Every structure is written in C-alpha cells, then in structure tokens.
Structure 1
Amino acid sequence: MTLHSASGPDDNVFPFPGPDGAPPNDLQAEQAVLGALMLNPAVLGDVAAVMDAGDYYRPAHETIHRAIMDLGEAADPITVTDALRRSGDLARVGGGAYVSGLVSATPTAANAEYYAAIVRETAKRRRLIEAGTRLVQAANTPGADADTLRAVLAVPTEPEPAAWPDPVPLTAARTLPAFPLDTLPGWLKEYVAGVAEESQTPPDMAGTLALSVLATAAGGRAVVHIRGRWREPVNLFTVVALPPANRKSAVFAAMTNPLYAAEKALGEAAAGRIVEAELTARLAREVAETAAVKAAKADDGPERDQLVAEAIGLAQTAEGIAVPPQPRLLVDDATPEAITSLLAEQGGRLAVLSAEGGIFDIIAGRYSGTPNLEVFLKGHAGDRLRVDRRSRQEFVEAPALTMGLAVQPSVLEDIARVRGFDGRGLLARFLYCLPASMVGSRRIITEPVAPAVADAYEVNVTSLTKALADWTDPAVLQLTPGADALLIAFQERLEPQLAARGGELGHIGKWAGKLAGTVARIAGLLHLAAHLTNGHTRPVTEDTMAAAVELGDYFTAHALAVFEAMGADSTVTRAATVLDVCRDNRWRTVSRRDLFTKLSRTDFPTAADLDPALSLLEEHGYLRLEAVLPRPRTRGRKPSPRYEIHPALSGDE
C-alpha cells in the first residue's frame, strides 16, 4: 500500500537528490517508523535511541511522531488520531485514514530500529547538503573572507560520547551504626564503656562480647515464651571482626574472665559431691563384686539362688550411682565430637569462646576432613541431639550452645567459601559486628576501668552464672502485653524486607528470617541482667524489648556489610567477576558473546545469567552499550551486543 499525505501525493523515495532536486529522504522508512510505533509501543525506546522527531523530512510525520511520544505506551491509531484531533493537527497531517494506514503499510514492528536508522541517515545527509549550500552562497557573497567561510563550514556533527565519569562502586561503603550502649543495664553499660575507654577499642567489641557472656551464663537455663508454642532459648552466636593490632585478646579477657572464675567456683563447689559419689560408686561396685563371688561359690539350691539375687541387686545399685561431671562452661579448641560429649555431660549448656577463629577450621574438617555442622546447628536452635556411635551413645534433649568469637575480617571471607556453611545455615545463625578500627587515633594515656565498676561486673556475672547453674528445667520468661506488641510491630516491619525480589534483606533472607527470634533472645538476656536475683519471677517489659529491637537493627546493619563482603548478593558477586575479566584482558570494547566465553560456567552456566551482571555494571558506569547501526530482521543469528569498557579497567586512565 502506498500512502499519500494531505499536502499532495509523493510516491517516490529519494535517498539521494532526485531529478526534481528533492533532498535525500525515504518516506517509506518514515511511514514504517510511525506505523511500528503504533503497532508495538514497546519499540519506543529503541527508536528514541536512534532518532528524534526533527529527523523526519515530511513535517506531518514529525507532528505524528510527537503525538505518539506524548502518548507513550498508550499509542495506537485510535488514540493518536484522537490526540491529533484535539490538538487541531489531524487535517494537516492527512486525516484519520492516513494515520490508520501507517500501521497497515508497516511490514513489521521488529525492524523499527532499522527503519529509524534510515530516517536518521537521510536527515544527516540533508543537513550536510544544507551546510554545503550555505558555504556556496557565502563564498559567492562579495567581501566574504576566510573566517566567514570557516564559520559557515562548521557543520553540526553527531555528539561525541560523553566523557567517562568515575564509576559507582558495586558495594557502596556503608556507614555502620555504633553499638547502642544505652540498651544495656547500668552495671553492664558502665563496664563495657570502661573497657572500651581503657583499651581504646570501639565499644562494639566489648558490647557484643557482653551479650555472649550473658548467653553463656544463662544459656540452657532460661527460655523466652513469646506466644503459643513459640519459645526461644537465650543462647547466642556472635562474632566480632577487627584487623590485627586492635587488642582483641585484651578485651576478650576482660569480658570473659568472670566466666572462668564462675566455672572454677562451680568446680570447687562440686568437688565434694564428686568425690563422695565416686567413693560411693566404687564401694558399691566392690560390694557387688564380693556378692557375685560368694554367689558363684555357693552350692546349687535355694541359698545360691538367694545369693545370686542379692548380687544382682547390689550390681544394679552400684550401676545406678551417678558421678556428677566436673562443671564446664567454656571450651575453645575442641572438635565437634568433643563438644557434643560435653553438651551431653553438662546438661545441654556449653559455650565456645575464643579470641581467634580456629573453631571455624575445626568445623570445616581440620581433623576429620569433612565439615561437621550438626552439633552447631542443633545447639543454636535447641533441637534434640542424639548421637549413636559404636563407641558411645549420647542424647541431649534441649542443647543450648553459645559461641562468642573475635576474629580478623579475612576469617569471615574465608568461611563464606567453606562448603555447607552457608547452604546449611551456619552463617545465618551468627550476629555479626564489624566495628571501625581505632588504630592510628588511639590515646596513649587512658582512664582505667573504675574498680567499683569492674568489681560489680565480676560479681554480677559470677552470681548470675552460679544462680542458674543448678536449674534442670529452664526458667520460662514471659512477655508483658506491651513487649509482645512491640515484637509484633518489629515482625511486621521486618516481613516485607524478607521478600526475595525487592526486599532490602531478601538476599540475606536466611539470616534475617531468624532475626525476630534473635531479638526475643536478646530481650531475655537483657531482662536477666537487669534482674539478677528474681528475673525468672518477672515478665520482660516493653522497655527491655525496645532495647532488644534497637540491638536487632544494629546487628542487621552490620550483617548487611558482612554478607556483602561474603558475596551474598549473587548479582554483585557476578558483576565483580566480570570486572575482573575485563581488567585482566585490558579490553576497550567487548561483545557479550566474547565475554561469555571467557567466564567460568560455574559462575555463569548460561549466557542469560550474564545479563543481570551487565545491567548492573551499566548502571554503575563500568560499561556502556556501544551504538551500532541496526540490521533488518533476518533468519540469521542476531548480532551480539557490544560494550565499551571504562578506560580505568584497561589501564588508560
């Protein structure tokens, strides 16, 4: 179908000046562009990237194009016709029939970008001809000098590609919040602040370790009843990461020393019972053995039967005498098997506290060759732990394992690569603390912790540990209605952030999914620390829950930073891999296909897996899609997109 405009028929196409002197134009291409835009508004962006309304030769087409752009994705022959009628331009462009005919005259909307390139090319040629005409006219003007001719010769050219701005880092530096000291009970707050001042370390380290100390004292001996059947034990996994020379060992010792003192006191108190039980058991076994020998020597008959029965009874009595274990609260360098045995022996309560990260190597299989996570996963959650081996059988009804570690940041990067740590949820169980190092700005002369403050800390931690040590059934801590309402509000705020797509915490959903329960655990610990002697008789208040929520928000910010460093966001991780490949090859441009061949199939199983990373790198200014002249749609393979690469990656900047 050949279209005619209202201004007169023109069936010819003149890519070059025709016999009648018409400047370069291609009316069929112009009509195809407009038809494609109304046939499939999704190509609006493709066309806009190639040409604009001023590139049309026929003014009517420019008017129709602007009407389509104003309508956007709502453009079709009916809406465009209505818009032109309301603006008073419909008759001038050829009427409704001409607008509708544009669609029927378009072979396919798929080639809209190609049609637009033709229109753009003829527009550029027209402008060159106009510039040449101006030059001829100027040269024939009497008195024209060379400067005038040079000014006329200044033909507008295509804009040069924009200069490369500095790229935006893939992971923006986060300003992490400082540890909220006011959330701690008075005696604990004063000691944490005092230790931080004396050691010239961030309060975050002592504050996070303080929570581990409380969890060691109360773990396995108290649970928080939230609602229904939901109960949370009060043990925690925490890890503080600071570079070397940040006095981790000194702070660690200052915070944990009372626990060792409490462990020693519990051992001394149990020593008498242990000796008595051991002696009683030994005597009972000797009596049973004597009775067994006597029964064996007796002649058959009623007397022998009676002696045998007595021997069996004495043996059962001896076997039933339990010897209390030596009380243990703490371990450091221990295998998962040893930790399991200690948990069973200590009634389910144990803490792994260390100023180093060696326990991660042990979990990963330093001694066994394979990761052993079971005791750590169940020990955090409080799930039943049963071990059946040829050499032993152990059962823990409700294990409560606490972990408090102070490590170097590189340890966190290493554990992220250990098989099973993330997939099975071990990393999701830790509260992470990533404070800023004070090295280089520390004061040399500092105020030591006040003796009264240090004494109060030691007495309170020791007392809390010893007071709960003999509890066999855990103390159940209830919530006040206000505390429960506050926790519900926190859950409602948290839930949308867990969405896998679009949620702020979606990429660390395994960790954030446990956050509400962790906040309840922290609330229970703060409550016990505030009521050292009668916490089990009083409910957790709204103020205590508010403090726990504040700590939950603090640890969330730090967890985001840590998981970013671990590569939890797969798109960011893959984008960083693409950057490394571009930097190593010092490319200035590269096609998507060539880039894909250089990447590992482990990271990028298919070419489609590359697209999110490329889009992210474009957004951050590392890549720029190279403009190329489109080709009409054919049966052959579509050309691979080509990208310009930031000069900084190739070493040019």
Structure 2
Amino acid sequence: MALGAETLPTTWQEPIPLNHQPKLPAFPTWVLPDWLRDFVEALTEETQTPPGLAGTLSLAVLATAAGGRVVVQLRGRWREPTNLFTVVALPPGNRKSAVFSAMTAPLHAAEKLLMSEAAGRIAEAEVTAKMAREAADKAAAQASKAEGAERDGLTAEAIALAQAAESLEVPVKPRLLADDSTPETLTTLMSEQGGRLSVMSAEGGIFDIIAGRYSGTPNMEVFLKGHAGDWLRVDRRTRDENIDEPALTMGLAVQPDVLKDIGQNRSFDGRGLLARFLYALPESLVGYRKSDPDPIPDHVAARYDRTITALTLSLAEWTDPAVLRLTPEAHQALRAFDQRLEPQLRARGGRLAHITNWASKLVGASARIAGLLHLGQHLEDGYTQPISGDTMDAAIEIGDYFTTHALTVFDLMGADTTLARARILLAVLEDNGWESVSRRDLFAKLSRSEFPSVGDLEPVMALLEEHGYLRTDTPPRTGKRGRPPAPRYLIHPQVREPKA
C-alpha cells in the first residue's frame, strides 16, 4: 500500500547504487550425499577455491554418469531426464583447471575401463566383418565367371553373403566425454553412443564453436534437443543419424567475460540456449587464500573416485532408462516449490519476470537434480526406490542457489531489461530536476522504444523505489465518487543535485 503524504518519512536515506549486487550465497554443499560432500569440501580446502566451483561441477559429473540412463517421473506424461547444462564462472587465477581435473578424473578412468572392456569385442567384430566382406567379394567374383544356371546359383549365394556382411556391425569405442567439438562431431558421437555424451571443459571455447567459428553459421540444434531429450535426426551425404532420446550434459568452467560475450549473441537467447544452463558465479578467494591448506584425505579422494567410477560403469550398459518416481512427500515439496515460483514469473513486478525463459525450466531442473542426488545416496539400488521428500528439499535448495546466481549472471549478460530501463529513467530524473512528478508527465519524457506503454513504467519505478531513489506519494481521496487521485513520485534530493 502506498504511503499517504502525512505518513511519508521526512528524511532520505542514502540510495543504493543500481549496479549494487547483493552478496551471492555459497553453494550448499551440505545437501550433497556424504561421500560427495566430503570430497567437494576437501577439494575446496586444498585448492582454496569457492565451494560453488567444485559443487557445480559435481552435479555435472553425476549427470555424466546418469544422463540417458535415468529419468524422473513427475506427473502424467511429464518426465525429466537427468542430464544437466552447468557453467561456473571465475576470473583467471582461481585454479579452475585443478578443480576441474580432480572432479572429472574418475570419469576419464571409467571411460578407459569401458574402452578396455570393449576392445576385445571390437577386435572380434572387425575380424568377423572383414572375413564376411572377403567371402562376399570372392563369391561375387566366382559368380561373374560362371555361366547359365551355375551363374544364377552363385549370384544368389554372393548376394546372401553380401547382405550378411552388411548386417554385421562393429561396435564403436565407448565414449563418455567430449571437449570443444563441433556440433556436427557431437551429433555423430551422440549417435554412436546411443544418445549419451558429456561436454566437459575448463574453457569457454564451445560457445564460439556453437556461434559458428568454423562454419560461419550458428548451429545449436544438437544442444537444444540434447538438453530436452527431443528426437534428433540429421541427414548426412553418407548416412542418416537418428537419436531417439538424446541426453547431452555440459559442465563448463569459464571466465566471467565469456558470459558477457555470449549474452551479446542474440541467437543464443532467442533460441533458448542460455535458458538451459544452471549458472554459478562464486566469489573469488584470490587475496584471501591460505598458504598451507589441508590436503584432501586419501580415503576421501579414493572413495570419490571409486564411487563415481562404479556408478558410471553400473549404468553404462542400460539401454532403456530407469524411471525414478516421487514419494508423496517429494511430490508435495515440488508442488510447493512450483507454487512459490509461479508468481515470480509475472510480467508486472515478478522477481524473475526478465528471465522467464530460464526460470520456467527451474522446476524441471530441480527434479533432475533430485534424481542425481537420489542416485548418489542409493548407489546400489537407487532405481528401485522412489525419491524422498528430503532429497527433493535438497534439490530445491540447490535450485534456489542457482536462481540467485542466475539473476546476477543475466544482469551481467545484459538480459535484465528492468535494470537497464531503470538506469535510463534515473538519467531522465537527473536531467529534469523534479522534486516530484506524475506518472503521466514522466512518461511524456521517455522514448517509446524503451517504454512502449505506461505499464512498462511500473516494474522500473518499483525498482527505483526499492533502491531509495524515489517514493510513491498517493494523495488522500477527497470524495467517494470518481477516480482516486493519481499518485506522484517524490524524487531523492541527490538525484536533483547538479552534477559536477
């Protein structure tokens, strides 16, 4: 309710600068499974890095192990896969590479084991296929030399041998990980791997590749569909590639400037690529780091490596994904989260209105995280048990963490139009030197390209009021009939002061 003139305070507090950002929360490591929490916290201590770096990467590691092999059943036909797109941004000198290497090491170990186990089958299949092709070629050569009825019989035999040779498939080398691959290469790799793949990189070069560094044309189809799990078909000159249920995971550790750059690429935002990432912008510890931190205990590191490797191998051979269901308590927790989130998406005054594309995916992303935490808590038989309410609460806490960080990241990328308009409006107030102004008079001074309608002023004025630059003054109503008096805006004295 707006303040009446008689209740307005007579003094003004110092306004809060528009570029002021609240202190972002630390990653809630306490909600991770104990074996993962212990390693993340120990790695954070040893490397003297913020917990958001290892914490965010830990989710991408779990998603690499489970993506394409497990889905979460929410309601009706709504299912969420367990692959994730994550990106954590820190300035240079924050030891991103050291943390990245430690977090992903067991994935590389699992990939090598899968390759080693498949090597014998691949070699046998290659020899068998080679012999079948040679037999078909020999039969074709004999048929070409024969005549009459003998030729017909040998031709039929050659055709049968050729068809048999063609039907033999040589297994491809198992792959879990890719780095800065082109979209075309990624599509081929995902097709070969049954739709499952993870792009893990300690750099941001993949965004340049998506933007068309090599092709000259942005190509993000495999990323969009790989995140959502939508059917992907690509027609090549040499073959067709069909992926029924793609499951692409991305775990990136980049510099903040990379986020600024991708925010300038309107095709990323327009196609919805930016809305698919979970963003973390942890506070740098450079200048405050210990010179002699505690090392990671051997048993903690060994347990982490062993657990990630075992989880990855146990799910590697699954063709049909396991379906994780929710307990009634988990359903209720997710429903309450959805109800809390929905009003924040409103175009007028919603906290998340300017990042609706991102925030509208948050319930699904939290469900994905819940599935990953559940698998990490029930390593032997997670697919046989439903997700508990406590696990869903933990996932929602992580979702709230990413929400707060996303607000700052999208501001960094220039996506917060309310904040941008507030800066424009503040400049107009400074130029005109009003003590107070009506909404109508203020709107007359504004560009229609920035403020198409009077309604566009509402969230901007609310933001300036929150920051202390103005107050809403609603005159008292003098009669029972007619419209109530239009409010006026009282302007902070500092805004009216001449600028040196």
Shift of 1:363: 0.9
2:343 corresponds to which letter in structure 1?
P
1:588 and 1:644 in contact (8 A); partners too: no
1:351 and 1:403 in contact (8 A); partners too: yes
1:623 and 1:646 in contact (8 A); partners too: no
Question: What CA distance in whole angstroms lies between the structure 1 residues aligned with 2:453 and 2:329?
Answer: 53
> What is the aligned partner in structure 1 of residue 69 from structure 2?
221
Shift of 1:318: 0.5
> What is the aligned partner in structure 2 of residue 604 from structure 1?
450
> What is the aligned partner in structure 2 of residue 260 from structure 1?
108
Inter-CA distance 594–391: structure 2 relative to 1 (3 Å threshold) = farther
Correspondence 1:515 to 2:362: yes
Q: Choose the corresponding residue for 2:123, options 269, 272, 275.
A: 275
**Cα displacement string for residues 285-333 of structure 1 (whole angstroms, at most 9, x for unaligned residues):** 01001111111111022x2221111111111111111111111111111
1:519 corresponds to which letter in structure 2?
S
Q: Choose the corresponding residue for 1:459, options 284, 298, 306.
A: 306
Question: What CA distance in whole angstroms lies between the structure 2 residues aligned with 1:614 and 1:403?
Answer: 35
> Where do 1:419-458 residues align within 5 Å?
419-458=266-305
> What is the aligned partner in structure 2 of residue 322 from structure 1?
169
Question: What CA distance in whole angstroms lies between the structure 2 residues aligned with 1:558 and 1:537?
Answer: 34
Question: What CA distance in whole angstroms lies between the structure 1 residues aligned with 2:97 and 2:46?
Answer: 14
Correspondence 1:288 to 2:136: yes
Inter-CA distance 647–557: structure 2 relative to 1 (3 Å threshold) = closer
Question: What CA distance in whole angstroms lies between the structure 2 residues aligned with 1:618 and 1:472?
Answer: 54
Shift of 1:595: 7.1
> What is the aligned partner in structure 1 of residue 57 from structure 2?
209
1:574 corresponds to which letter in structure 2?
R
2:450 corresponds to which letter in structure 1?
F
> Where do 1:458-497 residues align within 5 Å?
458-497=305-344
Shift of 1:265: 1.1
User: Does the residue aligned with 1:421 lie in a helix, a strand or coil?
Assistant: helix
Inter-CA distance 617–346: structure 2 relative to 1 (3 Å threshold) = closer
> What is the aligned partner in structure 1 of residue 482 from structure 2?
none
Inter-CA distance 223–304: structure 2 relative to 1 (3 Å threshold) = same
2:56 corresponds to which letter in structure 1?
T
2:248 corresponds to which letter in structure 1?
L
User: Does the residue aligned with 1:401 lie in a helix, a strand or coil?
Assistant: strand
Correspondence 1:558 to 2:405: yes
Q: Choose the corresponding residue for 1:250, options 95, 98, 112.
A: 98
User: Does the residue aligned with 1:188 lie in a helix, a strand or coil?
Assistant: helix
User: Does the residue aligned with 1:532 lie in a helix, a strand or coil?
Assistant: coil
User: Does the residue aligned with 2:269 lie in a helix, a strand or coil?
Assistant: coil
**Cα displacement string for residues 234-257 of structure 1 (whole angstroms, at most 9, x for unaligned residues):** 000111111111111111111011
Inter-CA distance 503–611: structure 2 relative to 1 (3 Å threshold) = closer
User: Does the residue aligned with 2:199 lie in a helix, a strand or coil?
Assistant: strand
1:588 and 1:647 in contact (8 A); partners too: no
Q: Choose the corresponding residue for 1:401, options 215, 225, 248.
A: 248
User: Does the residue aligned with 2:267 lie in a helix, a strand or coil?
Assistant: coil
Question: What CA distance in whole angstroms lies between the structure 1 residues aligned with 2:451 and 2:344?
Answer: 29
Question: What CA distance in whole angstroms lies between the structure 1 residues aligned with 2:146 and 2:397?
Answer: 76
Shift of 1:645: 9.7
Question: What CA distance in whole angstroms lies between the structure 1 residues aligned with 2:367 and 2:461?
Answer: 40
2:429 and 2:496 in contact (8 A); partners too: no
Q: Choose the corresponding residue for 1:356, options 195, 199, 203.
A: 203
Q: Percent same amino acid at aligned positions?
A: 60
Question: What CA distance in whole angstroms lies between the structure 1 residues aligned with 2:225 and 2:411?
Answer: 26
1:448 corresponds to which letter in structure 2?
P
Shift of 1:574: 2.6
> What is the aligned partner in structure 2 of residue 169 from structure 1?
17
Residues paired across the two proteins, number? 471
1:589 and 1:644 in contact (8 A); partners too: no
Inter-CA distance 648–297: structure 2 relative to 1 (3 Å threshold) = farther
Inter-CA distance 410–612: structure 2 relative to 1 (3 Å threshold) = farther
User: Does the residue aligned with 2:266 lie in a helix, a strand or coil?
Assistant: coil
Shift of 1:213: 0.2
> What is the aligned partner in structure 2 of residue 338 from structure 1?
185
**Cα displacement string for residues 543-584 of structure 1 (whole angstroms, at most 9, x for unaligned residues):** 21121121111111111222222233312113335667999x
Shift of 1:623: 8.5
**Cα displacement string for residues 182-224 of structure 1 (whole angstroms, at most 9, x for unaligned residues):** 2111110100000000001111111110000000011111111
User: Does the residue aligned with 2:242 lie in a helix, a strand or coil?
Assistant: strand
Correspondence 1:499 to 2:346: yes
2:210 and 2:220 in contact (8 A); partners too: yes
Shift of 1:263: 0.8
Inter-CA distance 593–512: structure 2 relative to 1 (3 Å threshold) = closer
Inter-CA distance 419–535: structure 2 relative to 1 (3 Å threshold) = same
1:425 corresponds to which letter in structure 2?
G
Correspondence 1:308 to 2:155: yes
Structural RMSD (CA): 3.0
1:456 corresponds to which letter in structure 2?
R
Shift of 1:502: 2.7
Shift of 1:177: 1.8
> Where do 1:23-422 residues align within 5 Å?
166-301=14-149, 303-422=150-269
User: Does the residue aligned with 2:241 lie in a helix, a strand or coil?
Assistant: strand
Question: What CA distance in whole angstroms lies between the structure 2 residues aligned with 1:370 and 1:609?
Answer: 38
Shift of 1:166: 4.3
Question: What CA distance in whole angstroms lies between the structure 1 residues aligned with 2:134 and 2:428?
Answer: 76
Shift of 1:533: 2.2
**Cα displacement string for residues 402-456 of structure 1 (whole angstroms, at most 9, x for unaligned residues):** 0001111121121111022112211111111111111111110011100001001
Q: Which has the larger radius of gyration?
A: 1
Shift of 1:611: 5.4
* Unaligned 5+ runs, structure 1: 1-44, 50-68, 70-161, 626-642
2:422 and 2:464 in contact (8 A); partners too: no
Question: What CA distance in whole angstroms lies between the structure 1 residues aligned with 2:459 and 2:35?
Answer: 50
Inter-CA distance 485–621: structure 2 relative to 1 (3 Å threshold) = closer
2:349 and 2:459 in contact (8 A); partners too: no
Inter-CA distance 569–593: structure 2 relative to 1 (3 Å threshold) = closer
**Cα displacement string for residues 331-354 of structure 1 (whole angstroms, at most 9, x for unaligned residues):** 111111111111101110101111
Question: What CA distance in whole angstroms lies between the structure 2 residues aligned with 1:220 and 1:649?
Answer: 60
User: Does the residue aligned with 1:244 lie in a helix, a strand or coil?
Assistant: coil
Shift of 1:496: 2.2
Inter-CA distance 593–564: structure 2 relative to 1 (3 Å threshold) = closer
> What is the aligned partner in structure 2 of residue 547 from structure 1?
394
2:176 and 2:198 in contact (8 A); partners too: yes
Shift of 1:362: 0.9
**Cα displacement string for residues 353-410 of structure 1 (whole angstroms, at most 9, x for unaligned residues):** 1111111111111112221111111000000000113343111000000000111112
Inter-CA distance 531–491: structure 2 relative to 1 (3 Å threshold) = same
2:329 corresponds to which letter in structure 1?
G
2:209 corresponds to which letter in structure 1?
I
User: Does the residue aligned with 2:191 lie in a helix, a strand or coil?
Assistant: helix
Question: What CA distance in whole angstroms lies between the structure 2 residues aligned with 1:650 and 1:414?
Answer: 35
